[in-house]
Structure 1
Amino acid sequence: MEIAKNIYSNKVLKYIIIAFAGSILLTISAKIKIPFYPVPMTMQTFVVILLGITFGYKAGAVAVCLYLIEGISGLPVFSNSPEKGVGISYFMGPTMGYLIGFIFAAVIAGYLKYTKNYIFNFFKILFSISIIYLFGLLWLGTLIGWDKPIFKLGLLPFVYAETLKILLLTLIVNKLKNFRRFI
């Protein structure tokens, strides 16, 4: 019985460490803006998918949820906070759908099986990132109205940057998934 308690407590401790490390990595990825066309690029979507692939769907989702809880609580972890506000007011803004999509994208990226086939891996990662944009566009359309050019505002400016991130993840996915055996 004592051995089972130690194994369980070690596993819980690992998840706590992973969650905090993941939320810190997400915060850093949100704050660094890389000059890119047509809009500056952050690495948030890259890190969300990386967390899912590297740590699996459970730990990846927990890390993203912790990040969101930190932001909703008022910590300036989101991309444009504090200059665009903090806490729940920022969260409920135009990016809420994308932020919620982070959770589902991490789960899907962590759940999918990756092989040595780069083409299949590319499409699996593309599907995972697409979930972020699906939630983002749904919320954006609800918030600003469906009569507005939702795709032009909420998707097209990010296509080039996302393609670059998907290609990079495709190249390293087989290295990343090897970390799961340590969890």
Structure 2
Amino acid sequence: MALAITSLPRNPSFAQGLGLALAGAALITLGAKVQIPFWPVPMTLHTLSVFLVALTLGPRLGLAAMAAYLGAGAAGLPVFSGTPERGIGLSYMVGPTGGYLLGYLVAAGLTGWLAMGRGWIGRVLAMLAGLTVVYAGGLAWLALFVPAPKLLAAGLTPFLLGDVVKVLLVATLLSGLSRLKGRDQ
């Protein structure tokens, strides 16, 4: 586990791991549904929920949760931000936000791995590394939909400050929970 803030078993069984991954996917879905409309990329709590899942479940289960979330979306379940209004399934995934979705998958594993056993600053740095991956994937894909001169204004600058605040919020929340459990890391 990345944070040991819960009483989760150190090596969960397959059923426990599956349950945790599905619970993580549900939390990520909730984060995607809380949104402030922007175009072409809506502002959501997606980043917060992905990092919260990655840091609490660790790299393996965090990655599994994100994969389950993407699998549910690919299968046509309305788990993504703006679904079903803006389409569902694979057609949504290849739209303007597709690169961010792929970036979240990589970031979930990377962030969980980098944050293992780290304190507040280490967690923040791990999430900033994950955020870099999300933006790299998101902007690279968004460039197919938005002209280069408008790319950063459409896919980065409106979201960067909010995402940094979300990173600080997750790190602080998890540190507080660790202290409550008597295991500040």
Give the TM bin, normalised by the shorter chain.
0.7 to 0.9
Using structure 1 for the length normalisation, give the TM-score.
0.81
| Structure 2 SS opposite 1:144 | coil
Cα deviations across residues 96-143 of structure 1 (Å, max 9, x unaligned)?
000001111111111014533x444322221111211111011111x2
* Paired positions, count: 169
Using structure 2 for the length normalisation, give the TM-score.
0.80
- Give the whole-Å Cα distance in 2 for the aligned partners of 1:177 and 1:56: 15
Aligned to 1:151: 152
Aligned to 2:5: none
- Give the whole-Å Cα distance in 1 for the aligned partners of 2:130 and 2:88: 27
Q: Unpaired segments of 5 or more residues in structure 1?
A: 1-9
- Give the whole-Å Cα distance in 2 for the aligned partners of 1:175 and 1:56: 18
Aligned to 2:174: 173
Out of 169-178 and 73-82, give the one that drifted further.
Answer: 169-178
Deviation at 1:90, TM superposition (A): 0.6
**Could you say if the C-alpha distance between residues 159 and 85 of structure 1 is closer, same or farther in structure 2, counting changes exceeding 3 Å?**
same
CA radius of gyration, larger in:
1
- Give the whole-Å Cα distance in 2 for the aligned partners of 1:150 and 1:173: 33
Kept in 1, the 8 Å contact 2:42–2:81? The answer is no
1:86 is matched with which residue: 82, 85, 88? 88
**Could you say if the C-alpha distance between residues 66 and 40 of structure 1 is closer, same or farther in structure 2, counting changes exceeding 3 Å?**
closer
Give the RMSD, CA atoms, in angstroms: 2.8
- Give the whole-Å Cα distance in 2 for the aligned partners of 1:132 and 1:176: 26
Q: Percent of aligned positions with the same letter in both sequences?
A: 38
Q: Which has the higher helix share?
A: 1
